[in-house]
Amino acid sequence: MMQKNNSHPKSCRLAALAGALVLTTLLYAQPPADYYNNASGLNGQALQQALHVIISENHEPVTYSSLWTHFQTTDQKSNGKVWDIYSDFPGNPPYEYTFVDDQCTDISAPNENYCYNREHSWPRSWYGPAGNEISPMHTDLFHLYPVDAWVNELRSNYPYGEVNAPITTTLNGGKLGPNTTPGYSGIVFQPIDEYKGDLARTYFYMATRYMDQIASWAQFFAAQAILNGSSHPAFKPWYIDLLISWHEADPVSQKEIDRNNAVFAIQGNRNPFIDHPEYVNYIWGTGLSGEPAHHVEGFSAQTIILTWEDATGDVLPDGYLIRLSDQGFQHIAVPVNGQAVADDFWNKNVPYGRQSHTFGGLTPGSIYYFKIFSYKGLGSEIVYKIAGEVPQVSIIAK
């Protein structure tokens, strides 16, 4: 394993970190119960527009310098190390970074495993001239991640994609090389499988949060590989196919859920595609499930549901016999001990423990009469509870 070079000057790190504030514990907030109410029942562009409004209204931008501190809340592993998606490998990361100590900025890292910095997974040159710091995109935590500085530089502003013949492979298996996804053959960066879904949902967030601006971003050369110059669907067909395939192959993880909650607590908005992964298909996929070919036949209220509470006592029943008549209670025969009654339209055996039964095939407007007999034993050994007042009820089928 390559060892981290600790000889780079501390001046390359953020000097102010010597007096870094101690983090207070944030209460990770789940979305309010009505957070997505205005998106209910929508799909396509209408759903995307509704989500745009929801996640834009309470977005409170953070400062660029505060990202270092926020990362300690949004991207910390259980062991306290930096959760770097460009260097992590589940179960066996090639190296790990320590917050603050291994932080660096404004340097060109000489090698991988040197320091971590701030990665704009949606490159800055995709929403403005190179080097711009346009708010709130520049500090939006949903697309900013702490990553290895050398890999960050390697990735540059290339799109994410699929690579079969890499020019360079990182220590955790990330690849830079020609894209193999049909529709684009330029240079792309491929993250490992474990984070493809994370980044796809990041991009769906960006296209939605900045739906009112993304059409204009296609003017910037670096973004033209993936953007089609519209607010919806925003992406070119090849990129929609790629992102959806990544989204489906790498479902939402607990890491994403925790990060979504942490960012919500910091900047006041959420990534809806983590909370509701199905929104991806509703907006960019085939939409809602296809309409069934036919309606049901013979639809009418021809059922009656009977409910009861189980019998109690020293001797519990094994089941119940429910007998039905359309003539009156007096036409319901009392069952005979030792003679089990088979199920048919007029008789239903229900096991003990079940406390309801539905009778179907009835005539709307007709009155039906029911009696229920508890019994113990089965077959020729069956004994019915016939003494006392047998429970009965009459109901009109509607």
Phi/psi of residue 325, each to 5°?
A: -145, 145
H/E element holding 189? strand 187-190
Confidence (pLDDT) at 26 = 37
Query: Which residue, 248, 278, 274, is CA-closest to 262?
Result: 274
Confidence (pLDDT) at 1 = 35
Q: How is residue 3 written in tokens?
A: 């060892």
pTM higher than the cut 0.75 = no
Confidence (pLDDT) at 300 = 53
Q: For residues 43 and 333, what is the distance between their CA atoms, to the nearest angstrom? A: 57
List every span in the chain annotated with CATH 2.60.40: 304-396
Confidence (pLDDT) at 192 = 97
pLDDT by 10-residue block (mean), the chain, 398 residues:
39 34 42 92 94 97 96 97 96 95 88 96 86 85 98 96 98 97 96 98 98 94 93 97 96 96 97 96 75 57 82 90 95 94 94 89 90 92 91 89
Inter-CA distances, 324 with 24, 245, 303, 367, Å: 68, 56, 13, 11
DSSP for 297-348?
A: SS-S---EEEE-----SSS--SEEEEEEESS-GGGSPPP-TT-----SSSEE
Q: How is residue 150 written in tokens?
A: 């050398």
Q: 177 - beta bridge partners?
A: 188
Confidence (pLDDT) at 221 = 85
The CATH architecture annotation of domain 304-396 reads Sandwich (2.60)
Confidence (pLDDT) at 294 = 63
Confidence (pLDDT) at 29 = 59
246, with CB counted inside 10 A (0-12, 13-18, 19+), is buried
